[in-house]
């Protein structure tokens, strides 16, 4: 080639090229050092970070246990709710296809499909490329203001937002659709790639408000418990926990344990494979209650009917709340528990609607409160069972004693033993019969005192009266006997929110009111008034203890617990910290398989702390004693006479002709609370009254004890009594039906 | 014209290193696609460009490079036409006009403009070989390069402006620029750099620089430690990929950062990180070694060239490969700010690979016509 003929070799300065080589050398050596640092020295650190990048722990929800009644009737179950979801990554490539899907979905679901903009739209913000077309950034931002399942944003907005967050995770565009819509979407699967049906379990309560106070409802994990529950594998915002009733107390075993998958994900969040063998979720245990839904329904109907009747009769809301509890006194099984007013727990199952919760929590009748265990009322004359037991056991009275019961007693109100008795501090203590028969019942035996529920008799037994009964039972000893019958403490039943009631003593009064205990306080405490407060369940327990000849059974609503395969498992419940365990703990009692748990037998366990009394001054002694079986027998006989004595027996009209021997005690408890005061009902001598009745049957071998309570119901025998009668009747009818069908009696 | 060409001095080591690097690139691109359907064709396209490139090397080696020096006017006009049109009609990608669509091909005229610049400078230094190394000589060289640099700056494409500036600087340096002129240039350069960094950190916009470019500088100079998913994401993921590779790597096709797509733009800008993850330190050293051999053979050709033009062609190519390679690796190792410069021969890119192959063809042409006496 001609161009190469003339060669003029180049001579550069050597140091200049040398410097170039040196620079190249040092740059490359620098890279090698850097690589050595990154890959060899810090290799483990970066490997860990790489593992963190692709490792994702996925919690697999465990199905919640089912709640049955004692006969296997379902009270709480899990139903499928259908959500229509869109997975952005699975949508078709073509924008017009996506827009078609949006339009068709919009027509089916009744939500906006959403609009797209063209590329040359005038806007201050950014125009983003989203599935289906272009969208202004501000429109996308709008969708961030809405929580899932809340109507508002269009399909295009929701999908576009999800596409920026996690394109491989589905976004719910419509929640809780009907099964038909879910089927349509399933059928269109081929035409609508990316659209699918998500099945979400929601809690369903077939018996609804009938058992709402017992079963309770579910709610989201509160922030205060988030850390603790997260450690147990719960996922906030997804998993729910019990907010009331058995759903709360049995939360530990109903919830089961969530499974765990450790999966490899790519940058878009798509699951590639399991990194570790997945831990399968453990389904929650199933819980069988002691409740008989039929008796529960009968009790609820009874309560509703009674409330309706009296409220209609008086033309105003007279009975604002009420309770019926039925229990087997020998086993402690609660067969029915009705607290009026109630609420519909199905309305709270998916999420808790603010308006409904507001309505419930602002209702002065407190429908969310289980009045059977969470409300305290003066027990009135039903408390006389405690006074009677104490007075008889302490020898204040015996079967041969005759007590004079005029229509009223004029007694001195003494705050100190040496207070003089003047006109000024003398006040009348009236018997309820005073208005009809000012002369009173006359001379009564101990059994008649119980049967007629004579206040005057019990004033004398409790507080003593002159020379007739020189030494009454006294408040200290009354407290001992009341406690032995189940008062003044929580029962430990498997329901949250239980109150402990109040049996006062002089020290309590000094601390809480700043006043000395007065003689009058003892008198009215002896008839279950004054400072005495009790929950309906406590009243039932006291009656059951008498019915069961002194054995106080642990009240329970749990009959048994089964695992996912239906095998009965052993479980213990600890009422102190509300835990359910597979082994006994300090203070726990067995709930599965069913075993009657006796709290104590007052004729065996020495529970009664002795007091030595010198006049009105009583001091504690260390010796403990039992309640003599004869005492229980005498009190039982008194409760039976309540039914059998046709002259003044308070339950004789209700149960006199009853085919089965019933025994019981009524109560008409005077009260004056804020509600009554506001309604101007608190008038001295004509106080508003709660209506109580406790009864059990059959008398010889009791298998059912029922308490009924009506707030502001009036006389015990005429309002609460009929309710008890109907529930006991229903119980024996159901039992007869069961036996007729060949079922073994429970 | 081909007849009588002696292939005795054809540099087979250079050809081997280039072929090896391109093959390695194809292999890594195949892995880096990682199931991305849009990119699925990249590996085979890269193979075609590599094969085309090797053919080009032989053709260009056969042609005496001095023809290109003589033809500089038409080449000049062609590339000028391309660049000017580009500023008007080019495809915008990430805020810069760099692409030129011809049918299905996206051409990047900038890649070819760099060759043109090298040829123009080579011709200048050949024609001024006996001139005194005064300021006039320096300014002459700067002016020859300035118009191409200016057009690239208008795109704007800061990285390639720097590539050309470095090539110009190296050529001036080797051709004997006076030390005091170096000092002045270094002073001006340092001043410009400090100004750019200061203004960027203070958030003041600079003409000719895009906002994202200034952001990159800020991110590099003062990284925000909380900014894991923001602008530093790519660099962080690249560091994780490199570090996770260890000594021998996670295995071809098994790098989790690459295969699960945590590493972004892994077939172009971050292909070094992808190969570091899958082949470990061994793979990284292999890439550096291949680049080192290619650069060494180019400088060797420059030293043996029979005239200044040939020498400058080879040296320009060596500088181009060294600078682009270093900036890319430095970015992958987070010792240099993020720029769009690909890893020579390895990164995906038809125009880039073809242009580099043309460069190697020119170097081979120089090597074949070296100054040793032929018998």
Residue with tokens 């099945």: A199
List the Cα angle A330/A333/A337 in 5-degree steps: 130
Burial of A121 (0-12, 13-18, 19+ CB in 10 A): exposed
Question: Which chain A residue's Cα is nearest to B331?
Answer: A31
- DSSP labels, B126-188: HHTTTS--SHHHHHHHHHHHHHHHHHHHHTT-HHHHHHHHHHHHHHHHHTT--HHHHHHHHHH
Whether A7 sits inside 8 A of B307 (CB atoms) is yes
Tokens of A744: 């073994």
Taking only the tens place, the pLDDT of each residue in A143-190 is 888 777 777 888 888 888 888 888 888 888 888 888 899 999 988 888
Quickly count: other Cβ atoms within 10 Å of residue A199's Cβ.
10
Whether B276 sits inside 8 A of A267 (CB atoms) is no
Strands A67-68, A286-289: pairing is parallel
B373 to chain A: which residues are within 8 Å by CB? none
**Mean pLDDT on A193-199:** 87
- The CA-atom distances, in angstroms, between A99 and each of A106, A119, A164, A167, A578 are 10, 16, 18, 17, 54
Distance between CA A632 and CA A628 in Å, rounded?
7
CA nearest neighbour of A79 among A168, A202, A194? A202
- Name the percent of chain A lying above pLDDT 70: 97
A16 touches B: beta carbon within 8 Å: yes
- The CA-atom distances, in angstroms, between A465 and each of A169, A413, A443 are 81, 13, 15
Tokens of B12: 């087979």
DSSP A38: I
List beta partners, residue A57. Answer: A262
Whether A39 sits inside 8 A of B246 (CB atoms) is yes
Whether A38 sits inside 8 A of B246 (CB atoms) is no
H/E stretch holding B3 reads none
Picking from B232, B256, B300 by the largest number of A CB atoms within 10 A of its own CB, the best residue to mutate is B256
CA of residue A38 relative to chain centroid, distance: 58
Whether A30 sits inside 8 A of B335 (CB atoms) is yes
Taking only the tens place, the pLDDT of each residue in A483-497 is 999 999 999 999 999
A35 to chain B: which residues are within 8 Å by CB? 242, 276, 281, 284-285, 333
A273 touches B: beta carbon within 8 Å: no
A36 touches B: beta carbon within 8 Å: yes
B11 touches A: beta carbon within 8 Å: no
Tokens of A222: 């509160």
**Mean pLDDT on A562-568:** 89
Answer whether residue A746 shows pLDDT above 60. no
Picking from B2, B243, B296, B328 by the largest number of A CB atoms within 10 A of its own CB, the best residue to mutate is B243
Residue A5: per-residue pLDDT: 42
Whether B244 sits inside 8 A of A43 (CB atoms) is yes
B243 to chain A: which residues are within 8 Å by CB? 38-39, 42-43, 45-47, 49-50
Residues 6+ apart with CB under 8 A from A623: A609, A610
Residue B86: per-residue pLDDT: 67
Q: How far is A30 from chain B (nearest CA, A)?
A: 10
Q: Complex ipTM, two decimals?
A: 0.91
Whether A32 sits inside 8 A of B285 (CB atoms) is yes
Question: Mean pLDDT in runs of 10 for chain B (375 residues)?
Answer: 71 94 94 77 89 94 90 82 68 52 62 89 90 89 88 79 92 89 89 86 76 75 59 82 91 88 86 94 95 95 90 95 95 86 92 93 92 56
Q: How far is B174 from chain A (nearest CA, A)?
A: 6
Taking only the tens place, the pLDDT of each residue in A54-113 is 998 888 889 999 999 999 999 999 988 888 999 888 888 888 888 999 999 999 988 888
Answer whether residue A1 shows pLDDT above 50. no
B369 to chain A: which residues are within 8 Å by CB? 4
Distance between CA B165 and CA B141 in Å, rounded?
11
A54 to chain B: which residues are within 8 Å by CB? 256, 260, 262
B371 touches A: beta carbon within 8 Å: yes
Whether B174 sits inside 8 A of A17 (CB atoms) is yes
CA torsion through residues A79, A82, A83, A86, sign: positive
Residue B226: per-residue pLDDT: 55
Is A81 in a helix, a strand, or coil?
strand
B253 touches A: beta carbon within 8 Å: no
B166 touches A: beta carbon within 8 Å: no
Taking only the tens place, the pLDDT of each residue in A669-700 is 999 888 888 888 888 778 899 999 999 999 99
- The CA-atom distances, in angstroms, between A34 and each of A316, B166, B239, B324 are 88, 24, 11, 18
Residue A3: per-residue pLDDT: 42
Taking only the tens place, the pLDDT of each residue in A248-297 is 999 999 998 999 999 998 877 778 889 889 999 999 999 999 999 999 99
Picking from A18, A35, A165 by the largest number of B CB atoms within 10 A of its own CB, the best residue to mutate is A35
Distance between CA B240 and CA B284 in Å, rounded?
14
Tokens of A618: 């009583």
Q: How far is B364 from chain A (nearest CA, A)?
A: 15
Q: How far is A192 from chain B (nearest CA, A)?
A: 21
Taking only the tens place, the pLDDT of each residue in A434-472 is 888 888 888 999 999 999 999 999 999 998 888 888 888
Residue A4: per-residue pLDDT: 43
For residues A158, A162, A164, A167, the Cα torsion angle rounded to the nearest 10 degrees is -140
Pick from B174, B175, B333: which is nearest to A35 by CB?
B333
Whether A9 sits inside 8 A of B307 (CB atoms) is yes
Whether A53 sits inside 8 A of B67 (CB atoms) is no
Answer whether residue A2 shows pLDDT above 50. no
Picking from A50, A53, A272 by the largest number of B CB atoms within 10 A of its own CB, the best residue to mutate is A50
Pick from A3, A34, A43: which is nearest to B335 by CB?
A34
């Amino acid at each position: 080639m001609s161009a190469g003929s003339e060669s003029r070799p180049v001579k550069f300065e050597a140091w200049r090229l040398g410097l170039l080589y040196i620079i190249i050398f040092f740059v490359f050596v620098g890279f090698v050092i850097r690589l050595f640092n990154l890959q060899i020295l810090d290799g483990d650190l970066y490997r860990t970070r790489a593992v963190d990048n692709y490792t994702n722990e996925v919690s697999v929800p465990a199905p919640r246990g089912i709640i049955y009644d004692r006969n296997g009737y379902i009270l709480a179950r899990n139903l499928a709710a259908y959500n229509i979801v869109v997975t952005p990554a699975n949508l078709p490539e073509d924008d017009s296809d996506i827009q078609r899907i949006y339009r068709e979905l919009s027509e089916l679901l009744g939500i906006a499909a959403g609009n797209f903009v063209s590329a040359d739209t005038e806007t201050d913000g950014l125009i983003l490329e989203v599935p289906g077309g272009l969208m202004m950034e501000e429109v996308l931002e709008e969708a961030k203001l809405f929580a899932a399942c809340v109507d508002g944003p269009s399909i295009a907005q929701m999908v576009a937002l999800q596409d920026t967050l996690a394109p491989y995770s589905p976004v719910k565009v419509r929640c809780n659709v009907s099964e038909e819509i879910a089927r349509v979407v399933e059928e269109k699967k081929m035409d609508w790639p990316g659209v699918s049906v998500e099945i979400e379990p929601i809690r369903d309560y077939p018996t609804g408000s009938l058992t709402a106070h017992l079963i309770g409802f579910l709610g989201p994990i509160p922030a205060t418990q988030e850390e603790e529950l997260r450690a147990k594998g719960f996922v906030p915002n997804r998993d729910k926990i019990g907010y009331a009733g058995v759903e709360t107390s049995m939360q530990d075993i109903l919830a089961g344990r969530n499974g765990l998958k450790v999966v490899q994900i790519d940058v878009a969040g798509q699951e590639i494979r399991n990194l570790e063998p997945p831990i399968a979720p453990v389904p929650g245990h199933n819980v069988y209650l002691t409740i008989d839904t039929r008796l529960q329904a009968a009790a609820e109907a009874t309560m509703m009917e009674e409330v309706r009747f009296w409220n209609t009769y008086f033309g105003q809301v007279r009975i604002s709340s009420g309770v019926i509890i039925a229990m087997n006194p020998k086993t402690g099984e609660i067969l029915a528990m009705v607290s009026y007013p109630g609420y519909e727990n199905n309305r709270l199952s998916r999420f808790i609607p603010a308006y409904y919760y507001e309505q419930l929590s602002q209702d002065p009748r407190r429908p969310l409160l289980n009045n059977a265990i969470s409300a305290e009322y003066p027990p009135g004359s039903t408390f006389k069972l405690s006074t009677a037991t104490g007075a008889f056991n302490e020898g204040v009275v015996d079967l041969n004693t005759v007590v004079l019961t005029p229509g009223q007693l004029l007694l001195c109100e003494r705050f100190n033993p040496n207070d003089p008795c003047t006109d000024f501090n003398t006040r009348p203590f009236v018997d309820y019969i005073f208005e009809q028969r000012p002369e009173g019942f006359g001379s009564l035996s101990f059994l008649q005192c119980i049967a007629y529920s004579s206040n005057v008799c019990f004033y004398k037994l409790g507080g003593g009266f002159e020379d007739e009964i020189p030494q009454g039972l006294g408040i200290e000893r009354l407290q001992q006997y009341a406690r032995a019958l189940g008062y003044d403490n929580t029962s430990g039943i498997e329901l949250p929110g239980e109150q402990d009631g109040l049996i006062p003593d002089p020290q309590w009064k000094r601390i809480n009111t700043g006043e000395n205990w007065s003689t009058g306080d003892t008198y009215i405490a002896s008839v279950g008034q004054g400072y005495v407060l009790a929950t309906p369940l406590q009243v039932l327990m006291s009656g059951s203890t008498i019915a069961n000849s002194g054995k106080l059974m642990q009240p329970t609503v749990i009959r048994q617990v089964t695992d996912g395969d239906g095998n009965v498992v052993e479980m213990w419940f600890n009422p102190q910290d509300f835990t359910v365990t597979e082994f006994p703990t300090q203070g726990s009692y067995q709930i599965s398989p069913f075993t009657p748990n006796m709290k104590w037998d007052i004729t065996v366990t020495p529970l009664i702390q002795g007091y030595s009394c010198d006049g009105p001054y009583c001091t504690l002694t260390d010796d403990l004693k039992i309640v003599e079986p004869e005492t229980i027998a005498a009190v039982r006989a008194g409760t039976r006479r309540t039914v059998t004595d046709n002259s003044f027996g308070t339950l004789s009209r209700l149960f006199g002709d009853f085919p089965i021997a019933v025994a019981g005690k009524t109560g008409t408890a005077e009260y004056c609370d804020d509600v009554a005061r506001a309604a101007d009902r608190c008038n001295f001598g004509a106080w508003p009254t709660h209506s109580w009745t406790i009864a059990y049957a059959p008398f010889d071998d009791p298998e059912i004890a029922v308490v009924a309570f009506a707030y502001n119901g009036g006389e015990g025998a005429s309002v609460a009594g009929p309710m008890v009668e109907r529930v006991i009747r229903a119980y024996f009818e159901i039992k007869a039906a069961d036996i007729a069908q060949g079922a073994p009696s429970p | 014209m081909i007849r009588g060409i002696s292939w005795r001095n054809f540099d087979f080591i250079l050809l081997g290193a280039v072929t090896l690097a391109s093959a390695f690139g194809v292999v890594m691109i195949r892995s880096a696609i990682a199931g991305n359907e849009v990119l699925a064709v990249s590996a085979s396209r890269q193979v075609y460009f590599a094969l085309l490139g090797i053919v080009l090397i032989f053709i260009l080696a056969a042609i005496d490079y001095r023809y290109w020096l003589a033809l500089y006017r038409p080449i000049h006009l062609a590339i000028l036409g391309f660049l000017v049109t580009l500023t008007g009609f080019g495809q915008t990608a990430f805020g810069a006009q760099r692409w030129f669509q011809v049918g299905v091909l996206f051409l990047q005229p900038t890649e070819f403009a760099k060759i043109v610049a090298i040829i123009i400078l080579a011709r200048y230094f050949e024609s001024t070989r006996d001139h005194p190394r005064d300021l006039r000589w320096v300014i002459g060289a700067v002016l020859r390069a300035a118009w191409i640099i200016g057009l690239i700056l208008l795109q704007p494409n800061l990285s390639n402006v720097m590539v050309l500036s470095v090539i110009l600087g190296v050529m001036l340096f080797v051709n004997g620029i006076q030390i005091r002129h170096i000092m002045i240039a270094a002073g001006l350069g340092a001043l410009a750099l400090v100004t750019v960094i200061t203004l960027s950190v203070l958030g003041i916009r600079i003409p000719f620089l895009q906002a994202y470019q200034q952001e990159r500088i800020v991110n590099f100079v003062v990284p925000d430690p909380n900014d894991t998913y923001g602008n530093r994401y790519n660099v962080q993921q690249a560091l994780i990929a490199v570090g996770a590779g260890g000594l021998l790597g996670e295995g071809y096709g098994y790098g989790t950062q690459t295969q699960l797509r945590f590493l972004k733009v892994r077939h172009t800008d971050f292909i070094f990180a992808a190969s570091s993850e899958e082949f470990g330190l061994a793979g990284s050293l292999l890439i550096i070694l291949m680049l080192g051999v290619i650069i060494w053979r180019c400088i060797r050709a420059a030293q043996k060239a029979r005239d200044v033009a040939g020498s400058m062609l080879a040296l320009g190519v060596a500088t181009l490969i060294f600078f682009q390679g270093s900036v890319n690796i430095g970015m992958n190792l987070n010792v240099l700010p993020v720029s769009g410069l690909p890893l020579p021969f390895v990164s995906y890119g038809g125009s880039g690979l073809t242009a580099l192959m043309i460069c190697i063809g020119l170097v081979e042409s120089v090597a074949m016509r070296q100054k040793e006496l032929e018998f």
